[in-house]
Structure 1
Amino acid sequence: MKFIDEAKIDVAGGRGGNGAVSFRREKFVPRGGPDGGDGGRGGSVYAVADENVNTLVEYRFVKRYQAKNGEKGHGSDRYGAGADDIELKMPVGTLIRDADTGETVADLTAHGQRVCLARGGRGGMGNIHFKSSVNRAPKQATPGEEGEARTLLLELKVLADVGLLGMPNAGKSTLIRAVSAARPKVADYPFTTLHPNLGVVRLDDNRSFVMADIPGLIEGAAEGAGLGHRFLRHLSRTGLLLHVVDLAPFDDNADPAADALAIVAELEKYSEELGGKPRWLVLNKLDMLSEAEAAERKARFLAATGWTFPEADDRFDFDMDTPRLFEISALSHQGTQELVHCISRYLDEVKRRAALDAAAATPPPAASDTDTSVLQAAA
């Protein structure tokens, strides 16, 4: 099934039930008074993030979701029943915006997150509420409120720890096939990948991370060239970017350095945040070159781009903020295990720092009166 990452739907909450006008009529009870109950509330429409849902394909076919109306009130102080709510299961990573105002309604980033999209109307009040000392037999009740209605744009951004970017046919799909169980299409022509692919890279039973293979980018992608900016937004959800470069292109006139610089420019043009994300360079297809030719092309590429990388003997002892350079062959798996272990170490360090920052931002618990008296006595 194709990766469906956009949809437009209409949602509407149910109308509240009307309040009832009724009077108690019972033998031997003259002037029984008002006993009209309230109307029930209308149903609401909720979005629920579900990690078991992968695409928005369901919302391409069913475009309107209307909750039921609340039941009207009845006599004998009977209130109308409220209508059931509707829950729309959506993939984690779905961004929901109002189509008319552009306002962000919800950003579903965690499994189980539940957000109200259209609230049902409140039920009307029955005449039991309007009884007073000067109005013993009220004949008025209020109608139920209308439910909210809106048109929403759903946009799915893949949630991944690592995102692959590069020119078409750079070997991104081959790399994700080499390190995960994902099996995207691989062929010897550009734009083989037409939709994002996710793969879980598992190092052992306790360590794994998610890698996203994003369709190839070309110059002008931020303005819609090639597959356009539709897939650039997916990279904004990733924590680390791997810039895959083909050092052995089929076209002799191709310039890997110029292509790489063009892609970096597209990232910066799309958003400042995306341009500033941590990005590692991965030189691919070294199996097609001799050792001397690979070294010569690498030196020429770095000189043309002006990019510098530290010479590290131990790949697992590195500064978090320092960009890294890896030389691999995704087809023959050369250097891929070193790459994934380095990524795992990096992600572990990111989580550790985030936990420390969260702990530092949490104020210490206030001392109780008992603790204060104990400290004073000790002093």
Structure 2
Amino acid sequence: MSHDAAELARRLAREAEAVCRHYLSNGKREGRYWLVGDVHNTPGRSMFVRLHDSPKGPAGKWTDAATSEHGDLLDVIRESLGLHDFREVVHEARRFLNLPRAEPQPVLKSVRPPAPAGSQEAARRLFAISRPIEGTIVETYLHRRGIAHAHHGGSLRFHPRCYYRPDEHLPMETWPAMIACVTDLDGRITGVHRTWLDPVGFDRIRLGKAPIDTPRRAMGDLLGNAVRFGLPDDDVLVAGEGLETMLSLRCIAPTLPMAAALSANHLGAMLLSPSLRRLYIASEPDAAGEAVQAALSQRAEASGIETIALSPRLGDFNEDLHIFGIDALRATLRMQLAPEDVDRFLSPSTAHE
């Protein structure tokens, strides 16, 4: 945290109750704490904010007992308002500290209108209010898929209660979800992909996904874009369909830029960076995958980009990783990469990651 942010957090902590009344208005004070459902101002008692310094910790610190989320009052401002840019958070904190304190302030509502369902803006807001995957069910889900180290570079986040509507005639449900941001070549978020997860069990059928009809859905603008791991403007890229497929390969080559297009059709339409000189295509070994590989190869080669197919031993590279293990997958990848890329991306330092 920068010096300016740390000082703002300290100033907010001195007025912790006023901050809570303003941004967490659905909660209430009980003793030395402010209780509310969560940092998004949901009614309830799961989250508690310390209102005064104590031997247990400083004022302004909060913990959500249901999710183990924690933070300070700058986090409360960011999450309760759905702010994406930290500069907006700083501006709002400074604005709040200049407000009169004579009477409890009502909660500040976002001046932005509601984002249309399924829009790019709705996708950006969902990603902004989600949190890092470390220590969450997302990590558990990936570990059970054999992905012990998700080198995602910030492209994955976790939402503990992500909305899911089975269809327009049924009520809304909430499930924990892995949220992946879809970006264009400039790094601008154009959509998100949601994988709803089962908080209870893992079986061979669902592989940890929630027991619902469509546990994977995307929203926003996907055409031409992708979930990107690494620099989008590098000269080498591995492109494939599924998130778990690309994350499996990232276990072996964490510095090799990769992109998950999320479907065969979207892989075929993915935009390619002008700086790209070699494209690896990790397509599925079926008729649709072969057709997409041929079409994408033709388009890339017409732009002067060398293309190389990457083929799994089984259905996909995540299945290879889960069944055969990381050393076998490393050997498979080593045989298929160009020699200069083996030296560049499969260095000895990645051998035991």
Q: Could you say which structure has the greater relative contact order, defined with CA pairs below 8 angstroms and 6 or more residues apart?
A: 1
Q: TM-score band, normalised by the shorter chain?
A: under 0.3
* TM-score normalized with structure 1 length: 0.24
Max Rg structure: 1
> What TM-score comes out, normalization by structure 2 length?
0.26
